[in-house]
Amino acid sequence: MPHGDEQEVLDRIRQGLIYTESEAAFQTSSRRTDLIFEYNHTPPGEADRRRSLLVAILGSVGERTVLLPPFHAGFGSNVHIGDDFFGNVNLTFVDDVEIRIGDGVMIAPSVTLTTTGHPVHPARRVDYARFSESIVIEDKVWIGSNAVVLPGVRIGYGSVIGAGSVVSRDIPPMVVAVGTPCRALRTITDDDLTTRTAAIG
């Protein structure tokens, strides 16, 4: 049970307010960095070992999960992944608070999901001051290579995030969204059932 000072910091974190590295130091025991290192160095043939490590690292993990190493996480314990997940190499979770990923989600190489940002004014960045807001990725989302998902974002069911996009606001369900900042380009329709790649425009 957190004591008074710790509870006050946790309350600020949950509200998306500024907190510092020193103030949050009591959370260090929730970091799974040694286990992440071990996972990233486990031979490909040791699928059972990888699975047991992933269960120990993540806050929760569904069935038939593929997470190709290396992956990186600040904590690991704040990441929750559903069933039938595929994460390609160099997936980074900046999970100072929760990242919740639904079922059937696919994430391409070198994607960053960051729950944390820093104040704009340098005087407010002393002691690595930061704020954190949870990320939610709903079922059946596909995120393209080198995309960045920023704090507080929700990506709706079935949507596709184009490669290289910076997702700074919520994306509705069943759209193709691209760009910096990422914007919904078009709705996904039944016409997409008959094409390999969707025509744009």
Q: Are 30 and 77 in contact (CB under 8 A)?
A: yes
Candidates 3, 41, 80, 118; catalytic one: 118
Percent of all residues in the chain with a pLDDT value above 70, rounded to a whole number: 96
- Interatomic CA distance for residues 9 and 18, integer angstroms: 9
Count of the separate structural domains present in the chain: 1
Give this prediction's pTM. Answer: 0.92
Cα separation, 140 vs 174, whole angstroms: 9
Nearest in space to 113 (alpha carbons), one of 137, 89, 131: 137
**Cα 68 vs. chain centroid, distance in angstroms?**
15
pLDDT in tens, 115-160: 999 999 999 999 999 999 999 999 999 999 999 999 999 999 999 9
Percent of the chain with pLDDT over 90: 91
Do the domain assignments include residue 44?
Answer: yes
Any catalytic annotation for residue 121? no
Indicate the pLDDT class of residue 198, thresholds 50, 70 and 90.
Answer: low
- Domain interval for residue 139: 4-194
Angle made by CA atoms 169, 172, 176, in degrees to the nearest 5: 95
Indicate whether 178 pLDDT > 80.
yes
Distance, CA of 176 to CA of 155 (rounded, Å): 11
Question: What is the band of 3 on the pLDDT scale with cuts at 50, 70, 90?
Answer: low
Predicted local confidence at residue 200, as pLDDT: 53
Does residue 200 form part of some domain? no
Q: What is the distance between the alpha carbons of residues 47 and 7, in angstroms, rounded to a whole number? A: 39
Contacts of 26 (CB under 8 A, 6+ apart): 2, 6, 9
Nearest to 60 by CA among 25, 95, 88: 95
Residue 199 maps to a domain: no
- Residue among 173, 110, 165, 163 at smallest CA distance from 136: 173
Q: Is residue 164 in a domain?
A: yes
Q: How confident is the model at residue 194 (pLDDT cuts 50, 70, 90)?
A: confident
Kindly tell me if the per-residue pLDDT of 82 is higher than 60. Answer: yes
Q: How far apart are CA 133 and CA 150, in angstroms?
A: 9
Domain holding 74: CATH number? Answer: 2.160.10.10
Looking up tokens 């507080």 gives: 152
Determine the pLDDT at residue 196. 72
What would the pLDDT profile of 30-72 be if each residue is shown by its tens digit? Answer: 999 999 999 999 999 999 999 999 999 999 999 999 999 999 9
Q: Is residue 94 scored above 70 in pLDDT?
A: yes
